[in-house]
Every structure is written in structure tokens, then in C-alpha cells.
Structure 1
Amino acid sequence: MKMTLGLNWKILLVLIALVIVSGSLVYSRYLSLKLGKIEKQRVETWVEAQRTIANASEETNLNLAVKISSENKDIPIIETTAGDSITGNYLNLDTHRVAAGSDYLKSKLAGFKKMHPPIVLTLDQDSSASLKYYYGESRLQQELRYFPVIQLIIVGLFILVLIIIQRVSNKSAQNRLWVGMAKETAHQLGTPLTSLEGWSEILKANYEEQHAENGQNTQPAARRPAGVDQQLGILSEMTTDINRLKLISDRFAKIGSTPKLEPADLARQADKMMNYIKKRAGAGVQFSLQATEPPYMADISGPLMDWVIENLLKNALDAMGGKGQIHITLQKNERQILMDIQDSGKGIAHNQFKKVFNPGFTTKKRGWGLGLALTKRIVEQYHHGSIFVRHSEIGKGTTFRIILPLLS
């Protein structure tokens, strides 16, 4: 629902922009046509002033004609003969470019011919003795023509800024929510963990005390009562699970705070997590690790990087359904370490390569869709690296790539 509202908001902005620009185009076109008529009248008046000056006698008052002739300081005009030969008279053009050669005047004349028909000045009764005046657009007319384009750019930039602000705001709110959830989870786990750890120590102390009195701790395993080994196994499993919960709580506690980064070999981290997952995977899954140029040193937070690798390996297991291959490859160049985690699972559609890292996105029937989102956050924000789907084919498998700065 939230995504739909966000999409509708963006569409509404685009529609508003289109309405504004369309209205500007129509109104600018109207103003341009109106200004074009005014400029044509001004040029015709100017040509009449030239006629008056050309045909004036000694008694003719030329004050008005001279004033009209001198007032045109923005509309460019080129004078030609009846046969369209340039006479050399022009107005409001670049004199430096005219002096540089005749091509400038010719190109301007060609452009003026496309814009407007010429205004003809007949010098006498003989129609062959006439001049033509071709004219272009004033600077105001040119600015008016480009106004809608400029307005479109401004509106587009405004919408872009709004979208960026909205995204930053949403991401900031999302980050605060994640941090709050992570810290609250760590806090909620802390109390029962402390209690469980205490009970475990009490049970261990009672066990040692009771069996020390009975002398059972010194007996060989084959001669101990059956319940003794069972109790030892239960205590061992309890300790393992408590330590696992402590690790999870520690990981959540580190989300939202700046973790301490220390030099570590990524190959060892990957091997450790691969062996951990391997013990919990079925016999139908084969694991392999290729790291031919050890060590692969990087500044990392061990617990958080373990979480990243564990999440990717668990996703690989889920994608394969208990049967297939998982292969981890490490390589490096002068500046980076590249880690590829490849599986032979069901694959990911190409249009979902980026979506898999979005919070809440999941293809599983169960799950919150936060694993890869947290993985991306840990890699990019805390370790200044990147993670992406390098390759995937439906029915053939997926390869995730992690890139981290190489510790020099």
C-alpha cells in the first residue's frame, strides 16, 4: 500500500509538470505569434521610413522618418536587390563577423528567408528598381521561444529534488526503524540469556558436586550410569545454544552503532562459516572453498561479517532444497577482495536482482525478508564495500558477489 501511494505521488508530480509545461507551450506560442505580428509591423514601418528618406526632397520633414529608422535596435534586417543580391546594408547584426567574411551574411539571409517573406521597397514607378528587406527575430522573440524548454528543465529539477528528498527521508526513517528493532531485540534477548546462563552454571555446579560425591566423574565412560552421559550431553547442548543466542544478540546490538573493525583474513572467516553451515546441511549438499592467494586481509567486524556469509549460505541452502553444490571463491586485485558465493539452486529472475535486497522482499512462504537487506547494510555501510547478484539463471543457480577494500 505504501509503495502504491509513493508511486501515485510521483505520477501526480509528473502529470502536474506536464500540465505546467503544456500550458506554457501553448501560451508561449500565442505570445510568440502576437509578438511576431508586432515585429512585422515594426519592420514595415521601418521600411516605409526608408522609402520616405530615399524619396525625400529638400522641403520634406524627415524628423519622424529618421526617428523611426534609428529606433530599431533589436530586429535584425538585411537589404538585398530585387534579385536577392546582398547590397551590404544590414542592421542589428554582428559587425565583427560580417567583417570577417561574406559567409556570415549569406547564412543569416538564408535563415531569414525561412522565417519571413521579404518586405519590398519600390524606389520608383519601375518595378524592377526595388529593394528587399529580409528580417529575423528579436532577442525577446528568441528568449520567448526557449522559455518553455527552460521551464521544463526547472520543473524537472524541482521534481527530481523532491523525489530525492522523499527517498532520503524514507531511507532515514527506515534506518531508524531498523536500528530501533535491532537494539530492542538485543535488549529483549539479554534478560532471558542472562537467566539461562545462570541456570546453566547452577546445573553444571550441581552436576559436578553430586557426581564428585559419588565418584562417578573418575569412572570410565563405559562404567558410568546411563544418565550421566545424557546429562553431560544436555549441558553441552545448552551451553552451545546459549553461546549461539549470545552471538545473535551481539550481532543485533551492533546494528545502528559503529562496529569496531579489525584486520582479519576473509578466507578464514568464510571457511569457518562454511564448516558451521555444513554441519547443519544435509548430506546432499556439497561445499567447496577456493582461495589460491592467501591471505585475504580486510578491516572487518568479525561477528557482522560472519552474519553476512551465514545469511548468504542459508539462502543458498533454502534455494537448493537440500541437494546441490555451494562454492565460495575468493580472489583479489591491488585494491579489492572479491568473494563469490555460488549455489546450484532455483535461481533469481533478472528483474529481481535489485529487489532481493529490499526490506520485506522474500520468495519464501515464511520469513520477513530482512536477511539480505541487513546483509547489504552491513557490507555497504559498515564495511564500505558492495554486494550484488553477479549472475543467476532460473533453475541453474545464483552467484552473489561481495567486494571489500583490500587491507594494504
Structure 2
Amino acid sequence: MPMIRALFNWRTLLSVIAIGIVTGSIIYSDYLSRKLAEAEKQKVEQWVEANRVLAATNEREALNLASSISSHNIDIPLIATDEQDSIVDWRNLDSTRVLQDKGFLKKELKLFKTQHDPIIWEQSKKPYIYNKVYYGESLLQKEIRYYPIVQLTIIALFLIVIITAMNTRYKSTQNQVWAGMAKETAHQLGTPVSSLEAWVELLKEGHDNASILPDLERDVARLRLVSDRFSKIGSAPKLEQRDLLAQVQQMIEYMRKRASGKVQFHLNVHGAQPVLIDLSGPLFDWVMENLMKNALDAMEGKGLIVIDVHNHPTYVTVDVTDSGKGIQGKNLQKVFKPGFTTKKRGWGLGLSLSRRIIEQYHHGTLNVKWSEPGKGTAFRIVLKR
């Protein structure tokens, strides 16, 4: 039942209704087009008969009726030819184009032949001479024929606008939830961190606590940093010009202390140094930490993490490459979606937050550069100067 409900949501219902409307319109328009084509064929036949009567009779009433029928056909384009399809007359075509383009009548005649069979216009019985009248579609018939396409285009645009608006609203709501959750987390962390900082100051007064104070201070500083990171989500952070290499090197040293001795870290720099770029230090460190944590998890305690920094005149790239298990092809488009994770533990928020930090706050990009199962993965950060 949940799967059925998921399939038949409001979007599906809206699409079904739209398809039903368009299908009904196409069927009805085709019906009207066929009825109109029959009526137009009768009008052309009447026009041919009227002109035949005009040529063959002298009776006033018949002449008046034939003349009236002949003059009332002002919407159906006609081309009359002799037995060898040489054009002898035409009606209801663009006279300007006929005069300017010598091949216009031949093109129209070729088109009319594909649309309808000609109507025979008998000129004389002995000897038997006849003309052929080819006719095309009136403006009204063309409008009826193309009406479903126009309607389909309008409905498609309408659906695109609705879906885009709904997606924008959903993302906006999602962003507000993310920001609210992050700020609430920072708020909740703030009180105990402040308390811990006060306790550290008290412990400094005791001589027997010297051995534990450095580690305690580092952990408290770490909690303060985490709180500061969360507090910056949802508001525009202040970007300052920093040395990107120093930021990266600092995070490498931080992660090296928390990795096993079987994991090697290499930093390669390509281009001029220092690499100065506008950054939010705490948030960029968070991104690098997330990428290297994912690399460590993928390698399961042993392997190689290589960070390549390429310094270009207008932008900088940072590639984080690991020798881990890689990402399956079917998951490459999902890794940045909130909640997606292949780990037994975790909420699948790290890469989603990392992309948000790079794209929204640093106006750069974060993508999977390449990944191959069994060989590893490389993420690329691109930052514009």
C-alpha cells in the first residue's frame, strides 16, 4: 500500500489529468478536422460545378446561383490544371508570392497533390476535355490541426512552471529546516562548551592537572569549532583571504593523528605559491574533514589519500583522491543527496553539507571527479578567485 500511495501522488494525478486532456483534445480535433475536410471537399466540388454551369448555360437564375457559389469560395486554396498538370488557373493564394516567386505555384501544386485527390472539371464531352482542380487546406483546418500541439505546449509549460515552483518551495523549506537544525545544534552545544571552558580555567589553578590540561583544552576547542561551524549554516559567512595550502595542510595533520599508521597522506601542489583565495576557514575545514573522513572509511584503515592543489590564474582546484573501494555507478548521482549513505552508521549528511558550503557560500563546485569500484574515488573542489 505505501508503494501504491507513493506512485499515485498529486504529481502523478496531475500528469494523468493533463495527458487525458491532451489525448481528448487530439481525438476531438482529429474528428473536427476530418469533418471539415469533407465539408471543404464538397465546397470545392460545388465551386467546380458552379464554374461548369457558368460556362455551359445562359439561363439567368442558373447563372446567378452559379456565380454566387463561385464567388463565395474565398478560403480554400485552389489550383486548376489541364490534363498534363500544366497550371491554368488558381484561387485564394498569396498573390504577392505568386508574382515574386515563379516556382511558388508549382510548390503549392506539389503540396496539394499530397493532401487530396483532384476533382475533375469537365470542359467538353466531344472531344472529351477536362481540367483537374487540386485544393489545399483552409486556414481554419490548419488551426484545428495544430491546436492540440499548441495546447500540449501550453500544458507542458504549465506543468514545468508548477513542478519548478514546487521544487523551489521544497528546497527552500528544506534549506530552512537544515539551517534551523544547525543553529539549534550550535545553540545546544554553546552552553555546555562554555561551561567546559570555565572548568578548564579552574583546573589550571591546580598543579596536579598539568598532564591532562592540553588534551582537555584541545577537545574543548574542538567542540567550540564544531559549534561555530553549525552556527554559520543558514547565514552568509564572512570570507577572508587565506592561504589555501595552509588550510589544507592543517586538516591533513589533524586527520593524520586520527588515522591508523597504515594510512599515508600526500599533498601535491601544482602552480605558484602561496595559493591565496577568499575562504571561510571553519567551513572549508569542515568540507576537507568530511572528504578525508569518507576516504578513510572507504579504505577501511589502510591505503593512500592524495590531495592535489592546482593553482590556476582564475580558479583553484583541490582534488581529494583515495585508494578505497570506490563508488558504484548507480550511486554516483546519489552521493550528494541528503540521507544517502552506504555506512551502517551515519545520517548521510556530510557530502550534502559539503556541497552546500562550497556552492552556496564559496560560489564554487564540488563533484565526483572519477570513481572506480575496487580502485578508489576522487572528489574535486573548484573555487573561483
Same fold, TM-score > 0.5, yes or no: yes
* Distance (Å, rounded) in 2 between the aligned partners of 1:5 and 1:260: 42
* Distance (Å, rounded) in 2 between the aligned partners of 1:404 and 1:3: 44
Q: Which residue of 2 aligns with 1:214?
A: none
Q: Which residue of 2 aligns with 1:174?
A: 174
C-alpha distance 4-235 of structure 1, shift in aligned 2 (>3 A): farther
1:281 maps to 2:259: yes
C-alpha distance 84-127 of structure 1, shift in aligned 2 (>3 A): farther
Matches for 1:318-333 after TM superposition, within 5 Å: 318-333=297-312
C-alpha distance 383-127 of structure 1, shift in aligned 2 (>3 A): farther
Q: Which residue of 1 aligns with 2:74?
A: 73
* Distance (Å, rounded) in 1 between the aligned partners of 2:90 and 2:81: 9
| 1:101-159 CA-partner distances (Å, limit 9, x unpaired) | 44221221122122111112223333622222111100111111111111121111111
Q: Which residue of 1 aligns with 2:106?
A: 106
* Distance (Å, rounded) in 2 between the aligned partners of 1:281 and 1:194: 29
Matches for 1:7-406 after TM superposition, within 5 Å: 8-57=9-58, 59=60, 62-87=63-88, 89-126=89-126, 128-205=128-205, 207=206, 211=207, 228=208, 231-293=209-271, 294-406=273-385
* Distance (Å, rounded) in 2 between the aligned partners of 1:181 and 1:372: 17
Q: Where do 5+ consecutive residues of structure 2 fail to align?
A: none
Q: SS at 1:124's partner residue? A: strand
C-alpha distance 8-332 of structure 1, shift in aligned 2 (>3 A): farther
Question: RMSD over aligned Cα, in angstroms?
Answer: 1.9
Q: Determine if contact 2:53/2:62 at 8 Å carries over to the other structure.
A: no
* Distance (Å, rounded) in 2 between the aligned partners of 1:7 and 1:390: 37
Q: Which residue of 2 aligns with 1:223?
A: none
Larger radius of gyration: 1
C-alpha distance 121-2 of structure 1, shift in aligned 2 (>3 A): closer
Structure 2 length normalisation: TM-score? 0.95
* Distance (Å, rounded) in 1 between the aligned partners of 2:81 and 2:105: 11
Q: Determine if contact 2:367/2:381 at 8 Å carries over to the other structure.
A: yes
Q: SS at 1:129's partner residue? A: strand
* Distance (Å, rounded) in 2 between the aligned partners of 1:126 and 1:331: 94
Deviates more, 1:55-64 or 1:118-127: 55-64
Deviates more, 1:384-393 or 1:20-29: 20-29
Q: Determine if contact 2:123/2:129 at 8 Å carries over to the other structure.
A: yes
| 1:271-306 CA-partner distances (Å, limit 9, x unpaired) | 110111011110000000011321222111011111
Q: SS at 2:22's partner residue? A: helix
Deviates more, 1:106-115 or 1:302-311: 106-115
Q: CA deviation at 1:344?
A: 0.5
Q: Determine if contact 1:82/1:128 at 8 Å carries over to the other structure.
A: no
Q: Where do 5+ consecutive residues of structure 1 fail to align?
A: 212-227
Q: State the identity as a percent.
A: 52
Q: Determine if contact 2:270/2:308 at 8 Å carries over to the other structure.
A: no
C-alpha distance 379-6 of structure 1, shift in aligned 2 (>3 A): farther
Letter in 2 for 1:260: K
* Distance (Å, rounded) in 2 between the aligned partners of 1:64 and 1:276: 101
Letter in 2 for 1:243: A
